[in-house]
Amino acid sequence: MPARIPCSAVKPRVIVICGPTATGKTAVGIELAAALGGEIISADSMQVYRYLDIGTAKPTAAELAAAPHHLIDIVDPDEPFDAARYAALAREQVRAQHREGRVPLVVGGTGLYIKALLHGLFGSEAGDPAVRRRLAAEAAAAGIASLHARLAACDPQTAARLHPNDTARVLRALEVFEVTGRPISAFHRTHRFAEDPFEALLIGLDVARERLYERIDRRVEAMLAAGFEEEVRGLLERGYGPELKPMQSIGYSHLCAMLAGRVDREEAVRTLKRDTRRFAKRQLTWFRATPGIIWLPPDAAGEIQRRCRAFLS
Protein backbone atom coordinates (compact mmCIF):
# COMPACT_ATOMS: atom_id res chain seq x y z
CA MET A 1 0.00 0.00 0.00
CA PRO A 2 1.63 3.30 -1.00
CA ALA A 3 1.75 5.79 1.78
CA ARG A 4 -0.60 8.70 1.32
CA ILE A 5 1.11 11.99 1.09
CA PRO A 6 -0.59 14.51 3.34
CA CYS A 7 -1.97 17.42 1.44
CA SER A 8 0.03 19.95 3.41
CA ALA A 9 3.26 18.32 2.29
CA VAL A 10 2.51 18.80 -1.39
CA LYS A 11 4.17 21.83 -2.86
CA PRO A 12 1.86 24.01 -4.87
CA ARG A 13 2.49 23.62 -8.57
CA VAL A 14 3.09 26.70 -10.65
CA ILE A 15 3.28 27.09 -14.38
CA VAL A 16 5.47 29.95 -15.55
CA ILE A 17 5.25 31.41 -19.04
CA CYS A 18 8.27 33.64 -19.62
CA GLY A 19 10.45 35.01 -22.41
CA PRO A 20 11.34 38.32 -23.97
CA THR A 21 8.89 41.07 -24.73
CA ALA A 22 6.62 40.79 -27.76
CA THR A 23 6.68 37.00 -27.99
CA GLY A 24 3.00 36.58 -27.24
CA LYS A 25 3.03 35.62 -23.57
CA THR A 26 -0.30 37.28 -22.87
CA ALA A 27 -2.15 35.30 -25.53
CA VAL A 28 -0.56 32.01 -24.51
CA GLY A 29 -1.43 32.69 -20.88
CA ILE A 30 -5.07 33.35 -21.62
CA GLU A 31 -5.31 30.25 -23.75
CA LEU A 32 -3.80 28.15 -20.98
CA ALA A 33 -6.00 29.68 -18.33
CA ALA A 34 -9.05 28.60 -20.27
CA ALA A 35 -7.70 25.16 -21.11
CA LEU A 36 -6.41 24.28 -17.66
CA GLY A 37 -8.78 26.15 -15.39
CA GLY A 38 -6.23 28.62 -14.12
CA GLU A 39 -5.81 32.25 -13.29
CA ILE A 40 -3.04 34.49 -14.45
CA ILE A 41 -0.54 36.01 -12.08
CA SER A 42 1.33 38.68 -13.99
CA ALA A 43 5.11 38.84 -13.57
CA ASP A 44 5.66 42.23 -15.12
CA SER A 45 7.35 45.06 -13.29
CA MET A 46 5.53 47.77 -15.25
CA GLN A 47 2.05 46.37 -15.62
CA VAL A 48 1.65 46.65 -11.86
CA TYR A 49 1.21 50.40 -12.36
CA ARG A 50 -2.19 51.88 -12.99
CA TYR A 51 -2.67 54.17 -16.00
CA LEU A 52 0.37 52.83 -17.84
CA ASP A 53 -1.53 50.72 -20.32
CA ILE A 54 -0.54 51.09 -23.93
CA GLY A 55 3.20 51.42 -23.39
CA THR A 56 3.41 48.44 -21.07
CA ALA A 57 1.45 46.27 -23.50
CA LYS A 58 -0.94 45.59 -20.68
CA PRO A 59 -3.64 43.06 -21.53
CA THR A 60 -6.64 44.80 -23.07
CA ALA A 61 -10.05 44.95 -21.42
CA ALA A 62 -11.12 42.04 -23.59
CA GLU A 63 -8.09 40.01 -22.59
CA LEU A 64 -8.57 40.81 -18.93
CA ALA A 65 -12.16 39.64 -19.26
CA ALA A 66 -11.12 36.42 -20.97
CA ALA A 67 -9.27 35.17 -17.91
CA PRO A 68 -8.84 36.37 -14.34
CA HIS A 69 -5.61 38.37 -13.95
CA HIS A 70 -3.76 39.29 -10.80
CA LEU A 71 -1.02 41.80 -9.94
CA ILE A 72 -1.93 44.17 -12.72
CA ASP A 73 -2.96 47.73 -11.82
CA ILE A 74 -2.13 47.35 -8.16
CA VAL A 75 -0.17 50.54 -7.45
CA ASP A 76 -0.19 54.16 -8.56
CA PRO A 77 2.73 55.36 -10.68
CA ASP A 78 4.16 57.35 -7.78
CA GLU A 79 4.03 54.50 -5.29
CA PRO A 80 7.14 52.52 -4.50
CA PHE A 81 7.16 48.93 -5.66
CA ASP A 82 9.89 46.34 -5.81
CA ALA A 83 10.75 42.71 -6.25
CA ALA A 84 10.25 41.83 -2.58
CA ARG A 85 6.77 43.25 -2.54
CA TYR A 86 6.02 41.47 -5.76
CA ALA A 87 7.23 38.16 -4.41
CA ALA A 88 5.11 38.47 -1.29
CA LEU A 89 1.97 39.30 -3.24
CA ALA A 90 2.58 36.70 -5.89
CA ARG A 91 3.21 33.94 -3.36
CA GLU A 92 0.01 34.83 -1.60
CA GLN A 93 -1.80 34.58 -4.91
CA VAL A 94 -0.22 31.23 -5.80
CA ARG A 95 -1.25 29.76 -2.45
CA ALA A 96 -4.75 31.09 -2.71
CA GLN A 97 -5.24 29.52 -6.10
CA HIS A 98 -3.71 26.28 -4.99
CA ARG A 99 -6.14 26.16 -2.06
CA GLU A 100 -9.04 26.68 -4.35
CA GLY A 101 -7.90 24.04 -6.80
CA ARG A 102 -6.99 26.33 -9.65
CA VAL A 103 -3.75 26.35 -11.61
CA PRO A 104 -1.53 29.36 -10.90
CA LEU A 105 -0.21 30.65 -14.22
CA VAL A 106 2.64 33.07 -13.78
CA VAL A 107 3.01 35.06 -17.00
CA GLY A 108 5.57 37.74 -17.58
CA GLY A 109 9.00 38.86 -18.65
CA THR A 110 10.52 40.31 -15.49
CA GLY A 111 13.15 37.73 -14.68
CA LEU A 112 13.99 39.03 -11.23
CA TYR A 113 10.36 38.97 -10.16
CA ILE A 114 9.96 35.37 -11.27
CA LYS A 115 13.15 34.42 -9.47
CA ALA A 116 12.04 36.22 -6.32
CA LEU A 117 8.69 34.44 -6.44
CA LEU A 118 10.21 31.02 -6.94
CA HIS A 119 13.35 31.28 -4.81
CA GLY A 120 12.95 34.30 -2.55
CA LEU A 121 15.16 37.22 -1.69
CA PHE A 122 17.33 37.46 1.38
CA GLY A 123 16.35 39.27 4.58
CA SER A 124 12.98 40.94 4.40
CA GLU A 125 14.06 43.85 6.60
CA ALA A 126 17.33 44.66 4.86
CA GLY A 127 16.47 48.03 3.41
CA ASP A 128 15.77 51.63 4.27
CA PRO A 129 14.65 54.26 1.77
CA ALA A 130 16.13 57.09 3.85
CA VAL A 131 19.56 55.50 3.87
CA ARG A 132 19.20 54.76 0.19
CA ARG A 133 18.42 58.38 -0.58
CA ARG A 134 21.33 59.62 1.45
CA LEU A 135 23.77 57.23 -0.24
CA ALA A 136 22.49 58.22 -3.66
CA ALA A 137 23.07 61.87 -2.80
CA GLU A 138 26.59 61.07 -1.63
CA ALA A 139 27.28 59.22 -4.85
CA ALA A 140 26.04 62.16 -6.88
CA ALA A 141 28.21 64.58 -4.91
CA ALA A 142 31.40 62.62 -4.29
CA GLY A 143 31.32 60.19 -7.18
CA ILE A 144 30.66 56.50 -7.16
CA ALA A 145 34.38 55.70 -6.92
CA SER A 146 34.54 56.91 -3.35
CA LEU A 147 31.56 54.77 -2.40
CA HIS A 148 33.07 51.76 -4.09
CA ALA A 149 36.17 52.38 -2.01
CA ARG A 150 34.06 52.51 1.12
CA LEU A 151 32.46 49.23 0.16
CA ALA A 152 35.89 47.71 -0.30
CA ALA A 153 36.56 48.50 3.36
CA CYS A 154 33.40 46.97 4.82
CA ASP A 155 32.72 44.22 2.30
CA PRO A 156 35.80 43.46 0.20
CA GLN A 157 34.22 40.41 -1.34
CA THR A 158 31.29 42.32 -2.81
CA ALA A 159 33.51 45.24 -3.82
CA ALA A 160 35.66 42.83 -5.80
CA ARG A 161 32.62 41.34 -7.48
CA LEU A 162 31.01 44.60 -8.47
CA HIS A 163 32.32 46.85 -11.19
CA PRO A 164 33.15 50.29 -9.72
CA ASN A 165 30.72 51.88 -12.19
CA ASP A 166 27.81 49.72 -11.11
CA THR A 167 26.23 52.47 -9.04
CA ALA A 168 22.97 50.69 -8.33
CA ARG A 169 24.58 47.62 -6.79
CA VAL A 170 27.33 49.46 -4.96
CA LEU A 171 24.68 51.62 -3.30
CA ARG A 172 22.54 48.64 -2.45
CA ALA A 173 25.48 46.82 -0.88
CA LEU A 174 26.31 49.86 1.25
CA GLU A 175 22.67 50.28 2.22
CA VAL A 176 22.49 46.71 3.47
CA PHE A 177 25.67 47.14 5.45
CA GLU A 178 24.51 50.37 7.06
CA VAL A 179 21.08 49.05 7.93
CA THR A 180 22.04 45.60 9.20
CA GLY A 181 25.71 45.94 10.12
CA ARG A 182 26.40 42.87 8.04
CA PRO A 183 27.92 42.75 4.57
CA ILE A 184 25.54 41.82 1.78
CA SER A 185 27.87 39.00 0.83
CA ALA A 186 27.07 37.35 4.16
CA PHE A 187 23.36 37.41 3.33
CA HIS A 188 24.06 36.02 -0.08
CA ARG A 189 26.12 33.20 1.35
CA THR A 190 23.35 32.00 3.61
CA HIS A 191 20.46 32.63 1.23
CA ARG A 192 21.68 31.42 -2.14
CA PHE A 193 18.19 31.39 -3.61
CA ALA A 194 17.67 28.16 -1.75
CA GLU A 195 14.01 28.75 -0.99
CA ASP A 196 11.93 26.36 -3.02
CA PRO A 197 8.29 26.58 -1.91
CA PHE A 198 6.75 25.62 -5.23
CA GLU A 199 7.08 23.04 -7.90
CA ALA A 200 7.44 24.96 -11.12
CA LEU A 201 7.18 24.23 -14.80
CA LEU A 202 9.00 26.90 -16.77
CA ILE A 203 8.08 27.46 -20.37
CA GLY A 204 9.97 30.07 -22.37
CA LEU A 205 8.49 31.42 -25.57
CA ASP A 206 11.06 31.13 -28.29
CA VAL A 207 10.97 33.38 -31.34
CA ALA A 208 13.87 33.66 -33.80
CA ARG A 209 15.79 36.87 -33.20
CA GLU A 210 15.08 38.41 -36.56
CA ARG A 211 11.36 37.74 -36.29
CA LEU A 212 11.31 38.99 -32.71
CA TYR A 213 12.85 42.29 -33.77
CA GLU A 214 10.31 42.65 -36.55
CA ARG A 215 7.52 42.03 -34.06
CA ILE A 216 8.96 44.63 -31.72
CA ASP A 217 9.13 47.26 -34.46
CA ARG A 218 5.58 46.49 -35.48
CA ARG A 219 4.32 46.57 -31.93
CA VAL A 220 5.87 49.95 -31.26
CA GLU A 221 4.10 51.29 -34.34
CA ALA A 222 0.87 49.78 -33.10
CA MET A 223 1.31 51.38 -29.68
CA LEU A 224 1.79 54.77 -31.25
CA ALA A 225 -1.23 54.27 -33.47
CA ALA A 226 -3.25 53.27 -30.41
CA GLY A 227 -2.59 56.59 -28.69
CA PHE A 228 0.55 55.97 -26.67
CA GLU A 229 1.54 59.61 -26.96
CA GLU A 230 -1.84 60.71 -25.60
CA GLU A 231 -1.46 58.32 -22.71
CA VAL A 232 1.90 59.80 -21.76
CA ARG A 233 0.63 63.35 -22.11
CA GLY A 234 -2.29 62.45 -19.87
CA LEU A 235 0.00 61.01 -17.22
CA LEU A 236 2.13 64.15 -17.24
CA GLU A 237 -0.96 66.34 -16.97
CA ARG A 238 -2.10 64.30 -14.03
CA GLY A 239 1.13 65.17 -12.28
CA TYR A 240 2.99 61.92 -12.84
CA GLY A 241 6.31 63.41 -13.89
CA PRO A 242 9.29 62.03 -15.76
CA GLU A 243 11.19 61.55 -12.51
CA LEU A 244 8.98 58.62 -11.50
CA LYS A 245 10.34 55.13 -11.97
CA PRO A 246 7.69 53.87 -14.37
CA MET A 247 7.96 57.08 -16.38
CA GLN A 248 11.62 56.26 -16.92
CA SER A 249 10.84 52.92 -18.46
CA ILE A 250 11.06 52.09 -22.13
CA GLY A 251 8.65 54.11 -24.22
CA TYR A 252 7.53 56.43 -21.45
CA SER A 253 10.98 57.97 -21.17
CA HIS A 254 11.25 58.28 -24.93
CA LEU A 255 7.91 60.00 -25.29
CA CYS A 256 8.58 62.26 -22.31
CA ALA A 257 11.78 63.38 -24.02
CA MET A 258 9.87 64.04 -27.19
CA LEU A 259 7.08 65.96 -25.48
CA ALA A 260 9.67 68.03 -23.65
CA GLY A 261 11.18 68.91 -27.02
CA ARG A 262 14.54 67.28 -26.31
CA VAL A 263 14.29 64.98 -29.33
CA ASP A 264 12.19 65.00 -32.44
CA ARG A 265 9.57 62.40 -33.18
CA GLU A 266 11.69 60.41 -35.59
CA GLU A 267 14.51 60.10 -33.09
CA ALA A 268 12.12 59.20 -30.28
CA VAL A 269 10.60 56.38 -32.29
CA ARG A 270 13.95 55.14 -33.52
CA THR A 271 15.46 54.93 -30.04
CA LEU A 272 12.27 53.52 -28.61
CA LYS A 273 12.43 50.62 -31.04
CA ARG A 274 16.13 50.17 -30.51
CA ASP A 275 15.88 50.18 -26.74
CA THR A 276 13.03 47.69 -26.85
CA ARG A 277 15.20 45.39 -28.97
CA ARG A 278 18.03 45.76 -26.47
CA PHE A 279 15.65 45.04 -23.64
CA ALA A 280 14.49 41.86 -25.34
CA LYS A 281 18.11 40.82 -25.73
CA ARG A 282 18.76 41.34 -22.01
CA GLN A 283 15.69 39.32 -21.13
CA LEU A 284 16.97 36.58 -23.39
CA THR A 285 20.30 36.63 -21.59
CA TRP A 286 18.51 36.33 -18.25
CA PHE A 287 16.22 33.51 -19.22
CA ARG A 288 18.93 31.59 -21.06
CA ALA A 289 20.78 31.49 -17.78
CA THR A 290 17.72 30.28 -15.90
CA PRO A 291 17.92 26.54 -15.43
CA GLY A 292 15.02 24.33 -16.40
CA ILE A 293 13.24 26.45 -18.97
CA ILE A 294 11.57 24.51 -21.76
CA TRP A 295 11.71 26.64 -24.88
CA LEU A 296 8.77 26.36 -27.25
CA PRO A 297 7.46 28.52 -30.06
CA PRO A 298 4.46 30.61 -29.01
CA ASP A 299 2.25 29.09 -31.69
CA ALA A 300 2.84 25.55 -30.44
CA ALA A 301 -0.33 25.65 -28.38
CA GLY A 302 -0.81 21.91 -28.47
CA GLU A 303 2.68 21.10 -27.28
CA ILE A 304 2.52 23.75 -24.57
CA GLN A 305 -0.74 22.34 -23.24
CA ARG A 306 0.59 18.79 -23.39
CA ARG A 307 3.58 19.78 -21.29
CA CYS A 308 1.39 21.55 -18.77
CA ARG A 309 -1.01 18.66 -18.43
CA ALA A 310 1.86 16.21 -17.97
CA PHE A 311 3.29 18.46 -15.28
CA LEU A 312 -0.02 18.75 -13.45
CA SER A 313 -0.88 15.06 -13.45
Partner RNA sequence: GGCGGCAUAGCCAAGUGGGAAGGCAGUGGUCUGCAAAACCACUAUUCCCCGGUUCGAAUCCGGGUGCCGCCU
298 part of the interface to RNA, by CB under 7 A: no
Q: How far apart are CA 311 and CA 103, in angstroms?
A: 11
Site string for RNA, 235-274 (x = CB under 7 A): ----------x--xxxx------------------xx--x
> For residue 247, what are the contacts with CB-CB under 8 A and spacing of at least 6?
77, 235, 240, 241, 253, 256
Q: How far apart are CA 277 and CA 243, in angstroms?
A: 23
CA-based radius of gyration for the chain: 21
For RNA, the closer of residues 204 and 251 by Cβ is: 251
166 part of the interface to RNA, by CB under 7 A: yes
Site string for RNA, 44-83 (x = CB under 7 A): xxxx-------xxx-----------------------xxx
> For residue 242, what are the contacts with CB-CB under 8 A and spacing of at least 6?
236, 248, 252, 253, 256, 260
Q: How far apart are CA 106 and CA 13, in angstroms?
A: 11
> From the CB of 313, what's the least distance to RNA, in Å?
32
For RNA, the closer of residues 34 and 285 by Cβ is: 285
Strand 294-296 versus strand 13-18 pairing type: unpaired
Q: How far apart are CA 274 and CA 217, in angstroms?
A: 9
For RNA, the closer of residues 99 and 163 by Cβ is: 163
Q: How far apart are CA 88 and CA 4, in angstroms?
A: 30
Strand 69-70 versus strand 103-107 pairing type: unpaired
Site string for RNA, 105-144 (x = CB under 7 A): ----xxxxx------xxxxxxxx----x---x--------
Site string for RNA, 180-209 (x = CB under 7 A): ----x--xx--xxx---------------x
**Rule CB under 7 A: which residues touch RNA?**
21, 44-47, 55-57, 81-85, 109-113, 120-127, 132, 136, 163, 165-169, 171-172, 176, 184, 187-188, 191-193, 209, 213, 245, 248-251, 270-271, 274-275, 277-279, 281-286, 288-289
